[in-house]
């Protein structure tokens, strides 16, 4: 066998091995959005009503009948009153940090929050990727928000406009 052909064969086997090894690694989420939205529909926070967290204390789905467009996202609400409240004060009712998990932001990464895992602290809505993150944040929000305050500006700059 000629040395050049053997070398090419070895390179192909090495590349195939690396490719197969990478298939075993967990995928890491990456995003380029300042607000967590569904990439296909543009709906924010999976269609949950952001005002409902404050009014009802639970995560409830909004409907297509009561929608609003703001910050490049479609927001859904359970009724016209919730829609009007949101439009009057989106900085209060919208999820903080665009819906990204503040516990993960404190670690230096942006991970979309799950609208089912939430906390209202200091009259603001926070969404979390994991129940454990929610519980840790709820036990000491000030500590997390201090860390988030240091990291969020740089992370936000990396997200697309």
CA gyration radius, the chain: 21
Nearest partner of 121 among 103, 142, 104, judged by Cα: 142
The whole-angstrom separation of Cα 46 and Cα 161 is 20
Nearest partner of 73 among 114, 95, 43, 115, judged by Cα: 43
For 69-108, what is each residue's pLDDT tens digit?
Answer: 999 899 999 999 999 999 999 999 999 999 999 999 999 9
The whole-angstrom separation of Cα 35 and Cα 100 is 8
Residue 101's pLDDT is 98
Map tokens 């895992």 to a residue: 117
The whole-angstrom separation of Cα 74 and Cα 1 is 63
For 29-70, what is each residue's pLDDT tens digit?
Answer: 333 488 999 989 999 999 999 999 999 999 999 999 999 999
Longest dimension (CA), the chain: 79
Residue 2's pLDDT band (boundaries 50, 70, 90)? Answer: low
Q: Residue 110: pLDDT above 60?
A: yes
Residue 33's pLDDT is 81
């Amino acid at each position: 066998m000629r040395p050049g052909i053997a070398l090419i064969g070895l390179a192909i086997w090495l590349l195939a091995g690396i490719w197969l090894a990478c298939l075993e690694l967990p995928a890491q989420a990456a995003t380029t959005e300042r607000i967590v939205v569904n990439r296909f529909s543009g709906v924010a926070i999976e269609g949950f009503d952001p005002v409902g967290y404050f009014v009802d204390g639970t995560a409830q789905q909004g409907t297509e009948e009561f929608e609003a467009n703001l910050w490049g996202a479609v927001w859904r609400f359970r009724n016209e009153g919730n829609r009007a409240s949101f439009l009057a004060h989106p900085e209060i009712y919208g999820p903080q940090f665009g819906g990204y998990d503040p516990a993960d932001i404190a670690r230096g990464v942006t991970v979309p929050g799950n609208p089912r895992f939430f906390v209202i602290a200091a009259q603001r809505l926070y969404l979390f990727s994991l129940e454990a993150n929610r519980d840790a944040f709820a036990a000491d929000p000030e500590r997390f928000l201090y860390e988030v305050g240091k990291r969020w500006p740089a992370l936000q700059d990396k997200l697309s406009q």
